[in-house]
């Protein structure tokens, strides 16, 4: 019986009796006490039990689907889940994969109706316990805020939490900068980018040791903790710490933030407006992000290097790219590529060659593992037969059988990985018939004027848009597997350099660049 163990602690469970190590030790002891059980895999998480999005649990469910173990073992049911609904879902997914579930301290079988009922009852108590913990924590934090103490979270720049009682103490080395930042913003009317540049030029850093960004400056300007207040769930209380900023100065800063559009509620840019989100790569290695500048009569949309946007032009001097011009150029280049039948045919041919080569290698390794696994299992049978006949003592046979069993477990694990690889869509080659409809689909989306549809197509068909300099923007396109409507799992196709006229700075003398390949 192949056993996989799952352990979990929550980062907010203080002084919990069973650490990850303690759970693992007790589970190992439990497995060794069961006849015919072999521990083949371990999974672990440090996350809340109220959600399923946990890396370790996700891997466990995936491996269960691949048949890499027979039983998932936990120390207690609440280590797997603290919600009745989620527990039922997990048990259903394990059952569909043919995998059993056991708790080392709660001996209920999930294969019988009564066992499932008891397991769900334990889930009810686990959910009740979690809700009670949350209620106590919320009430405790509310009391702390009413007393003027810090209730948790990132400690504000300029303060440190006192070891006792949670009160904030002034951090002298940082506190002097806070009123200076407000003074620059309110009295000198310097913007957040300018203030960040001044701080970085003077050699100042954030508490994490990084350069100041405009976002870290805005975080300081918006934080009411500098008025000597603490907040909790929308309520403000007089804090037990010293204020660093005068109330009149703080209120003026908030008015300026609103007028300048640096208030988040006034931001006009929306991620769906930028069709190439996450695809545009700067020569410095950072990604371009969508930004906007408000003029007298209209809003101007740009793609701006993330490093420049965050840390200033001293970090990266890459020019801003007008979003409409770049979007149009990339779409035009994509349509040209999709119209080049010879180029598409060559890309498809190469993709099929790579898929065939990959499948051949995987099949070869699978066959080799199968032969080796047969030899290991035959060796185990020989040792066990010799032991049963009395020709080999246990002290000789036992260690050798355990070593062979571990080797067999690793071979089966690799066998499952390779089998899963063959089933994945990553080894699927593109379908020429499906590609034929892509150009029409892109053109129809452009005519419809639906940004979300156009963006979805570009995200599926553009590998990246590399900005080499203000004169050269090189997109790399990709061809999806399957049909035109799916646009999934793509392989790269040769790219061309798109026309870049209209990019900042003025480009009246720019030419249309194309690759020579």
For range 471-483, the mean pLDDT: 74
For range 16-43, the mean pLDDT: 86
pLDDT(248) > 80? yes
CA atoms within 13 A on the CB side of 433: 1
pLDDT(296) > 90? no
Does 168-266 match 2-138 at the fold level? no
List the beta bridge partners of residue 439: none
Interatomic CA distance for residues 225 and 101, integer angstroms = 49
Per cent of the chain over pLDDT 90 is: 8
Which residue pairs, CB below 8 angstroms and at least 24 apart, start in 395-404?
404/376, 404/379, 404/380
Least confident residue range of 60-69, 117-126, 323-332, 491-500: 491-500
pLDDT(2) > 90? yes
pLDDT(37) > 90? yes
- pLDDT (0 to 100) of residue 39: 94
Q: Which CATH class is domain 168-266?
A: alpha beta
User: What is the pLDDT confidence band of residue 103, given thresholds at 50, 70 and 90?
Assistant: confident
**What fold does the segment set 2-138 form as a domain?**
Rossmann fold (3.40.50)
- The DSSP string of 353-392 is HHHHHHHHHHHHHHHHHHHHHHHHHHHHHHHHHHHHHTSS
For range 313-317, the mean pLDDT: 79
Higher pLDDT, 252 or 50: 252
CA atoms within 13 A on the CB side of 480: 21
- pLDDT (0 to 100) of residue 268: 40
Catalytic residue among 10, 42, 48, 358: 10
Interatomic CA distance for residues 390 and 289, integer angstroms = 73
Interatomic CA distance for residues 276 and 293, integer angstroms = 18
- Identify each DSSP E strand in 23-108 by its residue range: 38-46, 71-74, 100-103
The closest of 380, 440, 462, 409 to 42, measured between CA atoms, is: 409
- pLDDT (0 to 100) of residue 124: 59
Q: What is the pLDDT of residues 156-194, one digit of tens each?
A: 898 888 776 677 888 888 888 999 999 998 888 888 888
User: What is the pLDDT confidence band of residue 408, given thresholds at 50, 70 and 90?
Assistant: confident
Across the chain, what does the average pLDDT equal? 75
- pLDDT (0 to 100) of residue 69: 93
Q: What is the pLDDT of residues 43-73, one digit of tens each?
A: 988 887 777 788 889 899 989 988 899 999 9
User: What is the pLDDT confidence band of residue 137, given thresholds at 50, 70 and 90?
Assistant: low
Which residue pairs, CB below 8 angstroms and at least 24 apart, start in 105-114?
105/75, 105/76, 106/76, 106/77
Interatomic CA distance for residues 422 and 404, integer angstroms = 27
Q: Which residue has the tokens 């029409």?
A: 440
Q: What is the pLDDT of residues 352-386, one digit of tens each?
A: 777 777 777 777 777 888 888 888 888 888 888 88
Domain ranges within the chain, ordered by starting residue: 2-138, 168-266, 345-432
pLDDT(310) > 70? yes
Most confidently modeled range among 30-44, 200-214, 405-419: 30-44
What is the pTM for the complete model shown? 0.39
Per cent of the chain over pLDDT 70 is: 72
For range 471-484, the mean pLDDT: 72
Active site residue 10: yes
pLDDT(205) > 70? yes
Contact 185, 256 (CB under 8 A): yes
């Amino acid at each position: 019986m192949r056993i996989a163990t799952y352990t979990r602690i929550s980062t907010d469970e203080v002084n919990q009796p069973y650490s990850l190590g303690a759970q693992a030790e007790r589970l190992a002891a439990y497995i060794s006490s069961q006849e015919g059980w072999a521990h083949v895999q371990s999974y672990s998480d440090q996350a809340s039990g109220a959600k399923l999005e946990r890396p370790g649990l996700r891997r466990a469910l995936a491996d269960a689907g691949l048949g890499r173990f027979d039983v998932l073992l936990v120390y207690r049911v609440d280590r797997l889940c603290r919600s009745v609904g989620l527990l039922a879902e997990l048990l259903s997914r394990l059952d569909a994969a043919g995998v059993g579930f056991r708790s080392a301290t709660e001996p209920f079988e999930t294969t019988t109706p009564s066992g499932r009922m008891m397991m769900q009852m334990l889930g009810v108590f686990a959910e009740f316990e979690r809700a009670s913990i949350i209620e106590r924590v919320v009430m405790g934090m509310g009391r702390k805020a009413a007393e003027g103490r810090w209730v948790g979270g990132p400690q504000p720049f300029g303060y440190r939490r006192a070891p006792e009682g949670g009160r904030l103490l002034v951090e002298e080395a940082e506190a002097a900068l806070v009123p200076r930042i407000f003074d620059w913003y309110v009295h000198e009317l310097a913007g957040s980018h300018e203030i960040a540049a001044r701080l970085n030029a003077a050699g100042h850093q954030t508490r994490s040791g990084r350069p100041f960004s405009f976002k870290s400056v805005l975080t300081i300007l918006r934080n009411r903790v500098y008025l000597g207040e603490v907040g909790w769930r929308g309520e403000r209380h007089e804090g037990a710490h010293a204020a660093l900023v005068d109330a009149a100065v703080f209120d003026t800063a908030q008015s300026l933030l609103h007028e300048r559009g640096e208030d988040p509620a006034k931001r006009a840019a929306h991620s769906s407006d930028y069709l190439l989100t996450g695809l545009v790569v700067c020569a410095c290695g950072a990604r371009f992000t969508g930004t906007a500048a408000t003029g007298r009569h209209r809003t101007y949309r740009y793609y701006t290097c993330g490093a420049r946007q965050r840390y200033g032009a001293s970090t990266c001097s890459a020019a801003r790219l007008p979003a409409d011009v770049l979007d149009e150029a990339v779409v035009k280049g994509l349509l040209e590529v999709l119209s080049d039948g010879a180029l598409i045919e060559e890309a498809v041919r190469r993709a099929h060659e790579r898929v065939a080569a990959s499948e051949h290698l995987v099949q070869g390794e699978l066959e080799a593992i199968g032969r080796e696994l047969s030899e290991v299992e035959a060796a185990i049978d020989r040792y066990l037969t010799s032991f049963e006949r009395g020709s080999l003592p246990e002290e000789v046979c036992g260690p050798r059988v355990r070593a062979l069993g571990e080797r067999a477990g690793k071979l089966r694990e690799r066998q499952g990985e390779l089998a899963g690889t063959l089933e994945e869509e990553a080894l699927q080659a593109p379908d020429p018939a499906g590609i034929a409809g892509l150009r029409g689909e892109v053109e129809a989306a452009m005519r419809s004027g639906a940004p979300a549809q156009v963006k979805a197509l570009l995200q599926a068909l553009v590998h990246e848009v590399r900005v080499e300099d203000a004169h050269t923007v090189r997109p790399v396109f990709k061809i999806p597997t399957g049909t035109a409507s799916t646009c999934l799992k793509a392989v790269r196709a040769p790219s061309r350099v798109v026309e870049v006229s209209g990019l900042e700075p003025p480009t009246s003398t720019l030419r249309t660049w194309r690759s020579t390949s």
